[in-house]
Amino acid sequence: MIDQPPARFGACAAAALAGLLGLGAPPAAGAPAKAPAQNGPAISSRGDLEAAIRQAVGKWCARPGSLSVAVRSLTAGETLFSHHPRVKRIPASNQKLATTAAALARLGPDYTFPTDVYAGGPVRGGVLEGNLYLKGYGDPFLVQERVRELAHELRLLGVRRVKGDLIADDTYFDSVRYGPGWHAEGSLRPYQAPHGALSFNFNVVWLLIDPGKEGGPARVQLEVPAPTIRVEGSVATGPPGGRPQVRLARRRVEGRDRIRVGGTIPANSRRLSYPVTISEPALYAAGAFALFLKEAGVALGGEVRRGATPKEAELLARTLSRPLGELVRDVNKVSSNFMAEQILKTLGAEELGLPGTAEKGLRVVHDFLAAVGVPADAFELADGSGLSRGNRFTAEGLVALLEGVHRDFRLRPEFEASLAVVGIDGTVRRKMQRTSSVRRARVKSGLLDRVQTLSGYAVADNGEVVAFAILSNENACNPNPLFHEIILPVTLLDRPLPPALALQSEAARRNLALPMPNPRQRDRWRAQGRARTGPVSPEAGEPAAAEAVVEGPPEPAATGLEMLEEKSAPGGERGAKP
């Protein structure tokens, strides 16, 4: 995590939080460990593609009976490859494909999440004669900059003092904080953060530790020192050159979180930052709001507590999230469990009434899947994120979902843009960078203990758009090279198409030949940490434009496609990270 506390939960907050947890999957027991070749032979027919994928399965899977694969050309409407396609398996974070697609369809890409501030009495002479209410409606991206703006908006409205209490209202959702089978009670891990209608900073607080003088105490503080959270204990400053050894624990006392710290930090250490989940989302959000009110010059006379907003309360201020069509990018590209569950409960509240529950949201997702042609016996839904091991999907069912969304222009742009681009961003940003598959596949990865999954779209050399799903359970395969050797042949497919599709195919082929930037070369100057300058034009007195850098021929020694999600969790389970 970049040590940049003031902006930690800004526009790139979800991506930064997920970067903390990005780890690859281990190879399956008994599977070979040799990396796959950079590029393969030309794939000029469906038979060539089938042979290439079957060879990959035989090479990298110790237990192929626990693997399911489905590959379908959406351009030709033809199944290109299948391997146990109708066996239901644990999808891990591929479950988010169903949640986000249903949300885009039922809520709309333009849907925004409000968070409101209400007055429980009149404002006279700058004094609010009553309680102040902070009410949440499930916003999955309510970060500190926006809550601070709400506080300053009250100041601009002339409020200087609140006589009553600050009430945290999270009644838009039920009180269930975790999905089934999460084993998350007491967990400090961000990928298991609780959900709630009024949530703040992904329900994670950052603990910052700076060394003091050797032998003395270190400085320990919260990035957002909300009054509803207390830090107990201390960290000692040890001699230079050692390794930090910090212990963290969290407990609830009278409904408030207490974070206990201990251990040592070397005297020459940089600042250490530790994310810790909180147990009471609404109180955390309201506590932060109270802090920002004080910062804005608005005094709070009462205490911070939970409650419901009365119907007669007057709206004072409102902040709206970015549109859902943008938020789903954070859900799928960096695999945010927290955001997926917030969206799921919002689906339930909007479609089936208050309070929003996971059960209501899953009913909406179920109905959506049926509407786009996914067979009823192809899935079982337990949560919105895929962290629960009770979810099931067939590879054929996931491909049917991908095909159904692809054929609906109203959903396709935002949905496909939400997927991680191989070699460019999200959970696969560093994968297959030296192959021709860069920018040619958009995927959703998934990882739980003994489960590795990958589904998405790819475009072939002949312009065909292909949907695929790969579900490996029981550590059936070495996932990294397997995924590599399935995606690469799909993108290398260059078979002739029927005359009715030939014109479309030729146009797509021409477009694929156009150059695209190589971000590793394009952004290399940023790593130097210096201002970018160029030669000055004598006539104009302005720096000359830099030449565009485009991708050249593939470089040797490519690595396999890895899946980046949380590596460990309580009880030996891996989580689909936030």
pLDDT per residue, tens digit, the chain (578 aa), is: 333 333 344 434 444 444 344 333 333 444 433 433 346 678 999 999 999 999 999 999 999 999 999 999 999 999 999 999 999 999 999 999 999 999 999 999 999 999 999 999 999 999 999 999 999 999 999 999 999 999 999 999 999 999 999 999 999 999 999 999 998 888 899 999 999 999 999 999 999 999 999 999 999 999 999 999 999 999 999 999 989 999 999 998 888 899 999 999 999 999 999 999 999 999 999 999 999 999 999 999 999 999 999 999 999 999 999 999 999 999 999 999 999 999 999 999 999 999 999 999 999 999 999 999 999 999 999 999 999 999 999 999 999 999 999 999 999 999 999 999 999 999 999 889 888 899 999 999 999 999 999 999 999 999 999 999 999 999 999 999 999 999 999 999 999 999 989 888 888 889 998 999 988 889 888 888 889 887 766 565 555 444 444 444 344 333 333 323 333 333 333 333 33
Among the options 73, 321, 335, 418, which is catalytic? 335
State whether 382 and 428 are in the same domain. Answer: yes
Does the active-site annotation cover 93? Answer: yes
* AA letter at 138: G
Does the active-site annotation cover 294? Answer: no
Helix axes 95-106, 324-333, angle to 10 degrees: 180
Q: Rounded to whole angstroms, how far apart are CA atoms 110 and 191? A: 27
Q: What is the pLDDT of residue 430?
A: 86
Q: What is the pLDDT of residue 14?
A: 43
State whether 235 and 338 are in the same domain. Answer: no
Q: Rounded to whole angstroms, how far apart are CA atoms 440 and 483? A: 14
State whether 329 and 425 are in the same domain. Answer: yes
Closest CA relative to residue 237, chosen from 273, 211, 255: 211
Which SS3 state, helix, strand or coil, does residue 430 take? Answer: coil
Q: What is the maximum alpha-carbon separation in the chain?
A: 80
398 inside domain = yes
State whether 487 and 410 are in the same domain. Answer: yes
State whether 159 and 291 are in the same domain. Answer: yes
314 inside domain = yes
189 inside domain = no
CB 561 within 8 A of CB 470: no
Residues of the domain holding 409: 19-109+324-497+556-568
A 10 A CB-CB count for 156 gives 9
State whether 414 and 457 are in the same domain. Answer: yes
Residue where one domain finishes, among candidates 298, 320, 342? 320
Q: Please, what is the end-to-end C-alpha distance for the chain in angstroms? A: 14
Q: Rounded to whole angstroms, how far apart are CA atoms 99 and 346? A: 11
448 inside domain = yes
Q: Rounded to whole angstroms, how far apart are CA atoms 419 and 96? A: 10
Residue 575 CA, chain-centre distance (Å), reads 12
What is the total count of domains within the chain? 3
Residue 565 CA, chain-centre distance (Å), reads 10
Among the options 66, 93, 418, 505, which is catalytic? 93
Using omega within 30 degrees of 0 as the cis cutoff, is the peptide bond preceding 355 cis?
A: yes
403 inside domain = yes
529 inside domain = no
Does the active-site annotation cover 96? Answer: yes
190 inside domain = no
State whether 43 and 80 are in the same domain. Answer: yes
Q: Rounded to whole angstroms, how far apart are CA atoms 117 and 133? A: 6
State whether 305 and 328 are in the same domain. Answer: no
522 inside domain = no
**Residue 119 is inside which H or E element, if any?**
strand 114-119
State whether 355 and 411 are in the same domain. Answer: yes
Residue 93 makes CB contacts below 8 A (sequence gap 6+) with 335, 337, 385, 386, 387, 444, 445, 446, 447, 453, 565, 576
State whether 417 and 346 are in the same domain. Answer: yes
> What are 313's two structure tokens?
């309360």
Compute CA distances 78 → 82, 292, 379, 496, whole Å: 11, 57, 22, 14
State whether 350 and 427 are in the same domain. Answer: yes
Residue where one domain finishes, among candidates 320, 342, 375? 320
Q: What is the CATH number of the domain that holds 66?
A: 3.40.710.10
Among the options 88, 96, 431, 444, which is catalytic? 96
> What are 108's two structure tokens?
């709309």
Q: What is the CATH number of the domain that holds 301?
A: 3.50.80.20
State whether 100 and 118 are in the same domain. Answer: no
Q: What is the pLDDT of residue 403?
A: 98
